[in-house]
Amino acid sequence: MSSKRVRGNPGLRRGVGAQTTDSDEIMEAPHGDWLTLRSDQLLEWIDNAVYNVAEATGMRELVNRVTRPIFNFGQRVSPYPLHLGIMCCAIEMGQASAPDHDIDRLGVVYRSSPRQCDVLIVNGPVCEKLRPKLKTLYEQMPEPKWVIAMGECAISGGPYWDSYSVVAGADTFMPVDVYIPGCPVRPEALMHGFLTLQKKIREKEPGMFLRR
């Protein structure tokens, strides 16, 4: 194989990488003794190895039982929504963070990168042009993640329900966990929506270290 196809630094011996990675994706170094893996392949290999050992030794259930309440608590009390505003309901979202309401008290801290978020607030009408971008943002968020449909526009299209260019609700193209009706949604209602989400997270207990 040509040396041009080798990327990154040699990291794993052939025998180790060959067990978990497609042979086409393993890139052989010119001298033939070392292999390289992309970072996502390496993480997948580590993930599989840890999982298999935990499963074989019966540690998986024990680890999950111990870590589940801790992870669940962290996810519940510190939801990180994406700092995304679509239309008028986004103004109310901003007001909820102002001193009058101070939604930070619930642990709600906005982040600007989907990679750092676990909650997506859809807060306005989603037009057909925006839909693929919004879906991409959702897919870029790590698991576990939740979606709040804030306002009538996000729930059903609102005043634009029969428009040719507006999607009839966020749940037509992504899963929605909490619906907050209103036009606009008041800051208090948004806070109640987050409390509802916290309750949902507590009941589902998605927080665990080894989830498969």
Q: Which residues bind ligand SF4 (CB under 6 A)?
A: 87-89, 124-125, 151-153, 158-159, 183-184
Peptide bond preceding 79: is omega within 30 degrees of 0, i.e. cis?
Answer: no
- If one counts every other C-beta atom within 10 angstroms of the C-beta of residue 98, the result is 10
| Contact (Cβ atoms closer than 8 angstroms) between residue 193 and residue 205 | no
Q: Considering the complex, what minimum distance in angstroms separates the CB of residue 87 from ligand SF4?
A: 4
Measured from the CB atom, is 151 or 207 closer to ligand SF4? 151
34-36 vs 27-28, strand pairing mode:
antiparallel
95 alpha-carbon distance from chain centroid: 25
Q: Considering the complex, what minimum distance in angstroms separates the CB of residue 197 from ligand SF4?
A: 19
Q: Considering the complex, what minimum distance in angstroms separates the CB of residue 128 from ligand SF4?
A: 16
Measured from the CB atom, is 11 or 182 closer to ligand SF4? 182
Measured from the CB atom, is 114 or 158 closer to ligand SF4? 158
Measured from the CB atom, is 73 or 173 closer to ligand SF4? 173
CA–CA separation, 83 and 62 (whole Å): 37
Measured from the CB atom, is 11 or 85 closer to ligand SF4? 85
Q: Smallest Cα–Cα separation from 20: which of 55, 2, 39, 47?
A: 47
Q: Considering the complex, what minimum distance in angstroms separates the CB of residue 99 from ligand SF4?
A: 22
Q: Considering the complex, what minimum distance in angstroms separates the CB of residue 11 from ligand SF4?
A: 49
Q: Considering the complex, what minimum distance in angstroms separates the CB of residue 86 from ligand SF4?
A: 7
- Angle (CA) 142 176 102, round 5°: 75
As beta bridge partners, residue 120 has 147
Half-sphere exposure of 143 (CA within 13 A, CB side): 7
Measured from the CB atom, is 134 or 153 closer to ligand SF4? 153
